[in-house]
Structure 1
Amino acid sequence: MSKTKVLTTAAGIPVCDNQTSLTAGERGPTLLQDHHLLEKLAHFNRERIPERVVHAKAAGAHGTFIVTKDITRYTKASIFSEVGKKTDVFGRFSTVAGEKGSADTVRDVRGFALKFYTEEGNWDMVGNNTPVFFVRDAIKFPDFVHTQKREPQTNLRSKTMMWDFWSQVPESLHQVTILFSDRGIPMGIPFMHGFGSHTYSFINADNERFWVKFHFKTQQGIRNMTPENADRIAGEDADYHTRLLFETIGSGDYPKWTFYVQVMPESEAETYRWNPFDLTRIWSHSDYPLIEVGVLEMNRNPSNYFAEVEQSAFSPANVVPGISFSPCKMLQGRIFAYADAHRYRLGVNFGHLPINRPLATAANTYQRDGSMRFDDNGGASVNYEPNSFGGPKADHAYNEPPLKISGDANRYEQKRGIDDDFVQPGNLFRLLPPDERKRLIENIVASLRKTPKDIQERMVPYFYKADEAYGEGVAKGLGLS
């Protein structure tokens, strides 16, 4: 190798010397035959997969679920078959509206998704940290999400879009009240509850159906942030919740939740005072008390975020014998939409990824081929059913009583101002301590005042219909009283 001659100024500063000799490698070009370079660049260009439309920003962890109480009178699901039974779990905890790079401490609903690896297959409990949701019919869901994302022209988040939608969909008021309460900004993932939100079915060994709601109550206690602290922390550490969960588990201080269910006999659905399948409503605990089931503990961090958290795929369609569905219109829509989202993001064989693959042989299917099939593709076994060669039976999931359905097959009526839409938000408002009511009103006013006056005037009557003091507080804050 030739030596480089370095010229300097009188002050000793190096200067360019056109006469400096270069090595042959430094003079020569890059060629396309450098396939290591091409492979590296080509892979780099393809490292990202499509981001989730909602629930893009998340933390995840592995854990265990242990049964503490006998509920076999309600369900034959093997996960609940005996007290002390232990099942592995993976959990993903997310914000809803923001992108992957958004701050953890924004005011938002939080996703609470759990994958139970049972011996009968995977059961996915795909819920939120709230017991209700903004809409009761899946036909409204894409429109609602559009209002929470970015404007088409400016690419900015818009208070006007959010409140314009809510002011024309009064069923949203219950969830809006929760969102703008103290619980709208949790202190961290360990300090929030989780809910299945929808109504599901339990089916017992006698083939009897019960309607059921799922509740995960934090053992760490509910803790929330003030908006001021949330803004400050977002500026200092946008990944605060992600970091907190990882470091908490890493230190051995494992967060826990107690799992409860509410159970309704099938026959009582027709006469209950509210539609028990309406996602914007709760079941009163005085009508259907919480029944303890077990303890969820998150106790192991992922070893690779992409492989385990980003590629994890949850769907409420993933149930096991003893757990099934209900006529909830939002649930029926999610049964399709979630699995279809994963087919788009991860490919048709997403269920074979290690984080999503069931531990149970009973989960075998006759699906073959497709992109990214990286196992033996079913080997030499048949790919049809029924067959004479010992393949899995395809009818086990339907070994349950017929789903009794009443009413017309139709979307929810697009009525405005249904009285029942305001009863439960009003009840919730009156349950809050006075200081929390004050903060709820202040939070709503701070957001709603950034919208056009006609939207404010359309929204304020809803608060009045829920509770006179609720309406008066918001109207006064907006200068409309």
Structure 2
Amino acid sequence: MTEPQKLTTADGIPIADNQNSLTAGPRGPVLMQDFHLMEKLAHFNRERIPERVVHAKGAAAFGTFTVTNDITRYSKAKLFSEIGKKTEVLLRFSTVGGEKGSADAERDPRGFAIKFYTEEGNWDITGNNTPIFFIRDPLKFPDFIHTQKRNPQTNCKDHNARWDFWSLSPESLHQVTILFSDRGIPKTYRHMDGFGSHTFSLINDQGDTLSESLRERVWCKFHFKTLQGHQTLTEQESAKLKGEDPDHATHDLFEAIAQGDYPKWRMCIQVMSEEQAAKHPDNPFDLTKVWKHSDYPLIEVGILELNRNPENYFAQVEQAAFSPSAVVPGVSFSPDKMLQARIMSYPDAQRYRLGGNYQQLPVNQPKCPVMHYQRDGFMALGNNGGSTPNYEPNSAESTPKQNPAYAEPPMHLGDVAADRYDHRQGNDDYTQAGNLYRLMTPEQQERLAQNIVGSLSQARQDIQMRQLCHFFRADVSYGRRVAEGLGISIDPSMLPAIAQPVSI
């Protein structure tokens, strides 16, 4: 028997495991050092141009989301802050596997992607019309989608490929069962449910202080229940529509809204505490599984209504960019491996498809002020930040600054927690620099000081003074030499305190 060829990366590095991502523990999250995963996803995002790699065929409309029930006990997101509050939305429907010219009546999951234009930024939910998916590990995503596309030799759809993959991937059985059931072909986009599919987290804020104890995280799943009722197509009806009107669902959505028959969905959530998740019989972050409604009942949040058609398909639908990385304060992520990878993969796909400044396109532009340090690149609109600094931290006044009030509580992952740890806390950044200075001869020390003076003298005096503090903390002589070169007089009584090797 012929031995199989050795699987490698594009750099020729042998691959030991092409089934499982590198994760922090069995329930994730995925680690950035998994170069094989990153290469597969990044390359996958660049395999089609210019249409979307998946969800290429779609239709969309604008509308509003109206809060009908108070869930502030779970989330501090301002769009949920009061009953009756309205938020503008864009909802894009799609088939998953087909190209832009494919038929709407295919037996295929339907994309259900929502952009909420909130006062705290854009929040995207990039879900489907099913609560689950075919795979649970993102390392298999490019492979799976390849089976749904065209055979590399015949350029035709390949039933061998899809069933070969499914038969070798038992985790797909739940979604396959849905896909080939009566629910597999929705009659229209209006007559189907939508789901966030992944497990997300909601974060509340029970006080005005920054105390972590006042912030609580719960796990959450999002559901959008159609108020038009469920309608589906049989295989025979689907075949007839594909020949007679391949754009039937696109027509239906546009015409219904144009006639004032606005489609609506009831948005609900399921909520699971961290304690419940730890005791759950299976992994609550597994995208191939649901949470039982009997254990975690639906909680109504509001009504989503579509009431305005796009004016220009390319500008408002084709250029619309959705990513699960777009979350607002009060909504966040989970250890769901597929979600973790999509947080990277989706915006990467949009940068490839639309450019590095895709958020500046009108359909993607937030309704709230945007303040950051990103500059340049293709299609940098406006004044490109003007004369303000393009780096941070900086000393300029009235520039964007971080705000600890928006910090999330740590995400506990067994013996470790995902958090933003202060890399300066507990670190001595001065002793080794001082030791290096003390290894130099007096002549070398003098040349070092003069080289620094030649550059630092061109900076503002407030910057000079701040930097001198660092030199003195490393070594008093080091600081004195530079200060003398700058013509700055230092009070000798301050030197012992300044010289202490402590972080600032």
Question: TM tier, shorter chain?
Answer: 0.7 to 0.9
Match of 1:328 in 2: 336
Report the residue type matching 1:231 in the other structure. Answer: A
Distance in 2 (CA, whole Å) between partners of 1:291 and 1:408 is 31
Distance in 1 (CA, whole Å) between partners of 2:257 and 2:402 is 40
Q: Deviations over 1:306-334 (max 9, x none)?
A: 00000000000000000000000000000
Match of 1:283 in 2: 291
Report the residue type matching 2:388 in the other structure. Answer: S
Runs of 4 or more consecutive aligned structure 1 residues displaced over 4 Å after TM superposition: 395-398
**Residue 239 of structure 1 is aligned with which of 241, 244, 247?**
247
Report the residue type matching 1:57 in the other structure. Answer: K
Distance in 1 (CA, whole Å) between partners of 2:362 and 2:252 is 26
Match of 1:272 in 2: 280
Deviation at 1:165, TM superposition (A): 0.3
**Where do 1:398-413 residues align within 5 Å?**
399-406=407-414
**Where do 1:102-181 residues align within 5 Å?**
102-181=102-181
Distance in 2 (CA, whole Å) between partners of 1:278 and 1:60 is 29
Match of 1:305 in 2: 313
Distance in 1 (CA, whole Å) between partners of 2:280 and 2:49 is 45
Distance in 2 (CA, whole Å) between partners of 1:268 and 1:245 is 40
Query: Is 1:374 the equivalent of 2:375?
Result: no
Retained in 2: the 8 A contact 1:186–1:224? Answer: yes
**Where do 1:442-457 residues align within 5 Å?**
none
**Residue 384 of structure 1 is aligned with which of 391, 397, 410?**
391
Distance in 1 (CA, whole Å) between partners of 2:416 and 2:181 is 36
After TM superposition, the score normalised by the length of structure 2 is 0.70
Match of 2:6 in 1: none
Query: Is 1:195 the equivalent of 2:202?
Result: no
Cα separation, partners in 2 of 1:397 and 1:227, compared to 1, 3 Å: farther
Deviation at 1:380, TM superposition (A): 2.3
Deviation at 1:144, TM superposition (A): 0.2
> Which secondary structure does the structure 2 equivalent of 1:189 belong to?
coil
Match of 1:62 in 2: 62
Alignment size in residue pairs? 361
Match of 1:314 in 2: 322
After TM superposition, the score normalised by the length of structure 1 is 0.73
Provide structure 1 residue ranges, at least 5 long, that are not aligned to the other structure: 1-47, 410-481
Deviation at 1:263, TM superposition (A): 0.5
Deviation at 1:183, TM superposition (A): 1.1
Identity %, equivalent residues: 64
Deviation at 1:49, TM superposition (A): 5.9
Retained in 2: the 8 A contact 1:320–1:397? Answer: no
Q: Deviations over 1:437-480 (max 9, x none)?
A: xxxxxxxxxxxxxxxxxxxxxxxxxxxxxxxxxxxxxxxxxxxx
Q: Bigger shift: 266-275 or 200-209?
A: 266-275
Retained in 2: the 8 A contact 1:254–1:297? Answer: yes
> Which secondary structure does the structure 2 equivalent of 1:404 belong to?
strand
Report the residue type matching 2:408 in the other structure. Answer: E
> Which secondary structure does the structure 1 equivalent of 2:412 belong to?
coil
Match of 1:78 in 2: 78
Q: Deviations over 1:376-403 (max 9, x none)?
A: 1112222222233222234569601001
Q: Deviations over 1:89-140 (max 9, x none)?
A: 0111000000000000000000000000000000001100000000001001
Report the residue type matching 2:383 in the other structure. Answer: D
> Which secondary structure does the structure 1 equivalent of 2:363 belong to?
coil
Q: Deviations over 1:179-231 (max 9, x none)?
A: 00111100100000000000001000131000000000000011001111111
Q: Bigger shift: 117-126 or 379-388?
A: 379-388
